[in-house]
Amino acid sequence: MRDTILTYREMCDAEDVQTLQRGMNYRLSATYSVLLMSQRSNAPYKDEILDDGVTVIYEGHDVPKTRDIHDPKLLDQPYYTKHQKLTQNGKFAEAIKRSKLGEPQEKVKIYEKLFDGVWSFRGFFDLVDYEYATVYDRRVFRFTLRLGLDPTGADENQLKTRTRVIPTEVKKQVWVRDGGKCVICGATDELHFDHNIPYSKGGSSITAENVRILCARHNLQKGAKIE
Ligand SMILES: [Zn+2]
């Protein structure tokens, strides 16, 4: 479910992998890809949510740091490896090109890191476009992803209640304010970020004031009341 709170281990288990080392994971499963986001102030890549609240821009990745390459930030982000294989940038870009020729858009699960060991599932996104943009004096990939429907159908309330992405900064504030536990019962597992006033009922702004942490049980009770 969107905005679930996970440990690193739980995130790996959810994806059925031992570790998630890379930020970009094209086709981690047979049917979707996985992107990890980190918006720490010193994060290595710039990610952003556009004003529509559902579009995320994900920056591609640099050449790996090696003995010969001391500062990857000075070099164009690569489409191919030095062995002429597609990089992760290239794989995502190729998927976009194929979708423009009529194939379905790639489904991408995005996880965001809030703090060490604290991750949140941002949702299923459709990979819609990219540009190879000039930023200062080098070129970087900027991938456009739009919040989509969970293809497993596991999140049927998603469009009724929360149609905008909760910004990472808000989640971090709420995590600290609520002490990392359900605000009703104090549970510390199966948590997620709950948008207190559904967007459908006028809760339009996404500030820490109208987001809180709830456990799965109290989220279910709330869902029953709204119906
Ligand atoms: Zn609870």
Q: What is the arithmetic mean of pLDDT over 171-184? A: 96
Query: How far is the centre of ligand 1, averaged over its atoms, from the C-alpha of 159 (Å)?
Result: 23
Question: What confidence score (pLDDT) does residue 227 get?
Answer: 45
Among 80, 98, 76, CA closest to 89: 80
Structure-model confidence comparison of residues 177 and 151, the more confident one? 177
Query: How far is the centre of ligand 1, averaged over its atoms, from the C-alpha of 11 (Å)?
Result: 21
Query: How far is the centre of ligand 1, averaged over its atoms, from the C-alpha of 174 (Å)?
Result: 15
- Over 80: is that where the pLDDT of 151 sits? no
- Over 70: is that where the pLDDT of 24 sits? yes
Radius of gyration (C-alpha) of the chain in whole angstroms: 18
Query: How far is the centre of ligand 1, averaged over its atoms, from the C-alpha of 118 (Å)?
Result: 18
Category of 175 on φ-ψ map: left (φ > 0), alpha (ψ -120 to 50) or beta: alpha
Structure-model confidence comparison of residues 167 and 32, the more confident one? 32
Question: What confidence score (pLDDT) does residue 205 get?
Answer: 63
Query: How far is the centre of ligand 1, averaged over its atoms, from the C-alpha of 152 (Å)?
Result: 25
* Least confident interval from 7-11, 36-40, 51-55, 125-129: 36-40
Question: What confidence score (pLDDT) does residue 200 get?
Answer: 60
Take residue 91 and report the two structure tokens written for it: 């794989």
Confidence of residue 226 (pLDDT cuts 50, 70, 90): low
Query: How far is the centre of ligand 1, averaged over its atoms, from the C-alpha of 189 (Å)?
Result: 9
In order of 149, 188, 198, 205, 214, the CA distances from 209 in angstroms are 26, 21, 13, 9, 14
CA atoms of 25 and 61, how far apart (whole Å): 11
Q: What is the arithmetic mean of pLDDT over 217-225? A: 80
Would you identify the CATH topology of the domain 5-226?
PUA domain-like (2.30.280)
Query: How far is the centre of ligand 1, averaged over its atoms, from the C-alpha of 86 (Å)?
Result: 46
Query: How far is the centre of ligand 1, averaged over its atoms, from the C-alpha of 162 (Å)?
Result: 20
Q: What is the arithmetic mean of pLDDT over 137-154? A: 87
Q: What is the pLDDT of residues 60-118, one digit of tens each?
A: 999 988 888 889 989 999 999 999 999 999 999 999 999 999 999 999 999 999 999 99
Q: What is the arithmetic mean of pLDDT over 32-60? A: 80
Sequence-separated contacts (24+) of 207-212 with Cβ below 8 Å: 207/170, 208/170, 208/173, 208/174, 208/177, 211/166, 211/170, 211/171, 211/174, 212/174, 212/178, 212/183
Q: Spell out the domain ranges in the chain.
A: 5-226
Question: What confidence score (pLDDT) does residue 79 get?
Answer: 97
Query: How far is the centre of ligand 1, averaged over its atoms, from the C-alpha of 190 (Å)?
Result: 9
Amino acid symbol at 128: V
Query: How far is the centre of ligand 1, averaged over its atoms, from the C-alpha of 214 (Å)?
Result: 5
- Supply the DSSP string of 87-143, one letter for each residue: -HHHHHHHHHHHHHTTSPPPEEEEEEEEETTEEEEEEEEEEEEEEEEEETTEEEEEE
- Over 80: is that where the pLDDT of 43 sits? no
- Over 70: is that where the pLDDT of 42 sits? no
